[in-house]
A = this chain, B = another copy of it.
Amino acid sequence: MKKAVCIISGGMDSALTAFIAKKAGYEIIALHFNYAQRTERKELECFEKISAALGAKKVVFDTHFFKDIGASSLTDTSLCVRTGGVEEGVPNTYVPYRNGIFISIAASLAEKEGAEALYLGVIEEDSSGYPDCTEAFIKKIEAAVNEGTKKQTSIQIRTPLVHLTKEDIVKEALKLGVPLELTWSCYTNEDKACGVCDSCRLRLRGFEGAKIKDKIPYM
């Protein structure tokens, strides 16, 4: 059976992405990064449940060096996560080149496992303005990955959500039976979502657009 490495954060986007990979017939290797972000405990719990729902092989990598790099309100708790509303530009939740690092580590695992695809749930258009979530970036890192691995290794990087909106994502997730109630998006809280950070706002906007009730608890 052909294999795919799916990066799963615990959020909606990566959960849907992994369900799309599963539907495409892949054996799923679910990969989660613990990068000492604010809500890691909750995200790991969601990753475990989503992976179980997928019947996936689970891999968790410790990447605490992100905390040493810092420079993001997700990994440096002396910085505040903004709650005033989604704005243009790169927000301070941006973790420098995070997806470049995630993809590179996932590519290493994919090469070792003989996986032919690497799925991740980046979205470009209806997102927070991160430079490492664009299709242009994915194309370039895919070229680098295939140049820098063995000749017989060929890894396709698939981002099926890249041009979807959050509303599309909620609707598509419902169609595929993705258990959205097991996912977590809030940047700051682990028990009741704050509802006002960018990530909560984008999630809620998605549910509202899809005319669906979000079943996770909010403050």
Contacts and interface: CB of A to CB of B under 8 A. Distances in A.
A101 interface: yes
B144 A140 contact: yes
Chain A contact residues (Cβ within 8 angstroms of B): what range? 35 or more
B70 A112 contact: yes
A143 interface: yes
Majority SS at the chain A contact face: helix
A219 interface: no
B150 A131 contact: yes
Interface stretch (A58-66, A160-168, A174-182, A210-218): A58-66
7 contacts: A62-B65, A63-B63, A96-B112, A97-B111, A131-B147, A136-B147, A137-B144
Given A101-B105, A131-B147, 16 more contacts: A61-B65, A62-B62, A63-B63, A66-B108, A69-B109, A96-B112, A96-B149, A97-B145, A98-B108, A100-B104, A100-B148, A131-B149, A132-B148, A140-B143, A141-B144, A143-B144
